[in-house]
Structure 1
């Protein structure tokens, strides 16, 4: 397990408020922490399947003495109070689709070089798979790992979607749900470096998403039966789910 890292003051307050509540309303199934690097910075790459899963992943991070630090969509930083809290908690804004997009990767890269741990949702958005399987990934997580030489650790979540299904507003806290988090072995990036070609980065990202999918399959006890949705188009191929 990673060495203990101090939480920023604002996060200590948030944890003091939320963690006792989570302990009461959620059961925890945390597994695979033996795969976490013991020293240095690294990248955690997780699937995204609910509006609440950042809180679940944050809970898992705190339980493992890791200060939650995410790449967060930049509009949230413009919301009064919330934006100030995000800045104080040292979250990193993501300026997707703008000229400032590279700043996000640069900030995350620098944080990892300094020994920090960054949590990234490589899909870049919540899954739109009808069965909540991971979609394809964007290449940011791999690029940060290659630029820093840091481990790239896959993480799968399952359970938050039972409270809030992706893109739905229904909130079902009861009956009490189990939140599952599985950590896998770091992705093999040997032979690759900052000068990796676009094709090599794409293939490494595919391996990352395969690993996350495999971890989620272990939790669920089943395998996906349809092709992975391409996050770049968000157009799913025809599958048996469309026949339901």
Structure 2
């Protein structure tokens, strides 16, 4: 079926990134299967993560169908685009519908994108993972593909103003080797291994990141355990 919406959106995103002069460094895209279903799993630190996660699959000419909260599909601008790109709406009160939709997509050979932390991490560290990605991979008989993003929080994240200026921000994308999800294993154990893989990739992306904060006022995007002033996970929990 022709992608009448997805490919033009990709073109528009690439044009915007070129205008912003973003320095996008992607490694590991060869781990994305060229055919067949897979669950692509990434950390979540920015409102734009779905775009950059999708870019990680493009070298293999794959389009990712993301699971996203249902309210995005009701928006007058984003809604038609999300539906046109065949993304999957998630109503938290009726999660079984989204699960069934994602399962059908996987079985038909699609790549489904999942952010198992469910919400943006304001500490920019990994939160706990929900087990839905592992369960989907088990039931569909497809691999899990771990991924990590770094730098996207500097463009647009929760609690911070958007930075759509020509800021030359580097974006680091790391894709890991597939992780199998056997049906004879507990989904929780697979989820723990998956989180460990994403953590390893995140640390690799952070080590490879080519810039450091310019001064003390620019440390907000760096996690506290790396010497930055982002709130710790405990502080985020206290804020509610």
* TM class, shorter-length: 0.7 to 0.9
Matched, 1:221 2:217: no
Query: How far apart are residue 87 of structure 1 and its match?
Result: 1.2
Query: How far apart are residue 63 of structure 1 and its match?
Result: 4.0
2:191: which partner in 1?
205
What is the RMSD computed on CA atoms of the aligned residues? 2.5
1:105: which partner in 2?
99
2:41: which partner in 1?
45
Match of 2:145 among 135, 146, 153: 153
Unaligned runs of 5+ in 1: 1-5, 227-234
Query: How far apart are residue 7 of structure 1 and its match?
Result: 6.1
Match of 2:65 among 64, 69, 79: 69
Query: How far apart are residue 159 of structure 1 and its match?
Result: 1.2
Unaligned runs of 5+ in 2: 209-222, 226-231
Number of residue equivalences: 216
Query: How far apart are residue 142 of structure 1 and its match?
Result: 0.5
Q: Per the alignment, in what secondary structure is the counterpart of residue 56 of structure 2?
A: helix
Moved more, 8-17 or 112-121: 8-17
1:79–1:38 Cα change, 3 Å: closer
Query: How far apart are residue 172 of structure 1 and its match?
Result: 5.6
1:180: which partner in 2?
172
Matches within 5 A, 1:1-244: 8-24=3-19, 25-96=21-92, 98=93, 100-129=94-123, 132-171=124-163, 173-190=165-182, 192-193=183-184, 200-221=186-207, 236-237=233-234
In 2, the alpha carbon distance for the partners of 1:187 and 1:61 equals 16
In 2, the alpha carbon distance for the partners of 1:112 and 1:183 equals 19
CA deviation profile, 1:151-199 (whole Å, cap 9, x unmatched): 0010000111122244322426443011111111122434x34xx5xxx
Structure 1 length-normalised TM: 0.79
